[in-house]
Chain A
C-alpha cells in the first residue's frame, strides 16, 4: 500500500517531466542526485567520472522517460541507469572488471576475526574505496545498492556464482584492509 502511494507521488512528477517541465525535472534531480552520485562514486571511485555519469544518466533518464513503465519506483529505475553508466565508465578505463579471481587461489576460509572490532562508517567507506575495481564494484552493488548476486551478474556480465565468490573475496579483502588501517592507527 505504502509503496503504491509512494509511486503515485513520483508518478505525478514523472508525468510532468514527460511533458518537458523543467521544474519537475529539477525536483527529481534534487530528490535523487545525491544518492545516485554516491552510487556512481562507489563504482567508479572517481569524482569527475561520477559527475559525468550522473549528468549522462539524468539526461538519458529524462530523454527515455517514455520507456519507464511504473513497474518499479522511479528511483530504482534511475539507479539501474546510473549503475550501468558507472560500470561502463569503469570498463572504458579498465579492460576487465572481474579479473582478480584466479589470483586469489589460496583463499583463507571465512573466519570471523573481525567480530570483536568496532566499525566506523568512515573506516568502512575508506576501506571500500581502497579495494581494487573488480572487488569494489561487486561489494558495493551487493552491500550498498542492494542488488542480489543474480542482478550483479546481469549488470557485470558474469555468472551468479562468480558474483558470489567475488563478493566473498572482496569482503575478506575489505576486512583485511580495515584491520591493517586499524592496527596502523
Chain B
C-alpha cells in the first residue's frame, strides 16, 4: 500500500527532531553515574584501606575475605570478653567463701538446685560482713593465734562444702545434701560469731587493762 505519509516523513525525517533536552541534563547524568559508580566501588575502597595497612600482596578478593574474617574474630572476641567479665564479676560476690567450685560445675549444680544460689548469696554476704568485722579486730588484736585457727577451721568447712556441692550432683537425695550445705554455712557464721564475741571480750578486758599494764610495766622494770 502506498503510504504518502510515510514517504513524507522519511523525506523530512531530520526536521521532525526539533526538541532538545536541557543542556544541564548531561551534568545530572554525570553525577548520577558517579554516585552509582561510587556505590559499586564502596566495598572495593574499604578493602583498599586494609590492603594499604597490611601490604599490597593481598588482592581485593582476599582483602574482602580478610575483612570478613577479621570482623568475625572481633565479634567472637567481644562475646568472649563479655562472657568472661560477666562470669568473673558474678562469682566474685560468692566466690570468696562458699562458691569455690569450678564455674563449669556451678552451672549444672544451680540447675539442679536453683534455690542454692540464693542461699549461697545470702550466707556468703553474712559471712563476708562478719569477716570484715573480724578483720577490724584483727588489726587491733594482733597477738592472737586463735584467728589462724579459725581460718583453718573455715577452710575445712569450705572444703567440706565443696565436697557436698559435688555430692549434690551425684546423689539423688538433694534435700539432705542441701540441708548439710546450709548447715555448713550456718556453722561458719556461728564460728565467726563466736570469734567475734571472744574478740569483743578481749577488747573489753584490754580496755579495762589499759591503765594497769602501764603500771605493770613500770613495776616489772
Contacts and interface: CB of A to CB of B under 8 A. Distances in A.
B4 A144 contact: no
Interface string A157-185: 00000000000000100110000000000
Given A38-B17, A50-B19, A59 B4 contact: no
B52 to A, nearest CB: 22
A42 to B, nearest CB: 8
B33 A175 contact: no
Nearest to A37: B21
Contacts of B19: 34, 37-38, 41, 47, 50
Contact of B33 (A25, A41, A54, A171): A25
A121 B12 contact: yes
Nearest to B23: A33
B27 to A, nearest CB: 10
Nearest to B13: A144
A144 B30 CA distance: 29
Contacts of B207: none
Contacts of A115: 4
A63 interface: yes
Given A20-B37, A144-B16, A55 B29 contact: yes
A1 B109 CA distance: 90
Given A143-B5, A143-B6, A144-B9, A29 B18 contact: no
Contact of B5 (A42, A47, A174): A174
B16 A171 contact: no
Given A124-B8, A171-B5, A175-B5, A54 B18 contact: no
B220 to A, nearest CB: 104
Given A33-B25, A51-B22, A114-B4, A124 B33 contact: no
A5 interface: no
Contacts of A37: 19-21
B32 interface: yes
A143 B9 contact: yes
A35 to B, nearest CB: 6
Chain B contact-residue range equals 20 to 34
Contacts of A67: none
Contacts of B32: 55, 59
Contacts of A121: 12, 15-16
Interface in B142-200: none
Nearest to A38: B17
A22 B21 contact: no
Interface in A19-43: 20, 22, 25-26, 29, 33-35, 37-38, 41-42
Contacts of A42: 16
Contacts of A22: 30, 33
Contacts of B18: 38, 125
A32 B178 CA distance: 90
A55 B5 contact: no
A54 B25 contact: yes
B25 A55 contact: yes
15 contacts: A20-B37, A29-B26, A34-B20, A35-B17, A47-B19, A51-B22, A55-B29, A59-B32, A63-B36, A110-B1, A112-B4, A143-B6, A144-B16, A171-B5, A174-B5
Given A54-B25, A110-B1, 16 more contacts: A22-B33, A25-B30, A25-B33, A37-B19, A37-B20, A38-B19, A41-B19, A54-B21, A58-B29, A59-B29, A121-B15, A124-B5, A124-B9, A125-B16, A143-B6, A144-B13
Interface of B: 1, 3-6, 8-9, 12-13, 15-22, 25-26, 28-30, 32-33, 36-37
Closest 5 pairs (CB-CB, A-B): A38-B17, A121-B15, A37-B21, A143-B9, A121-B12
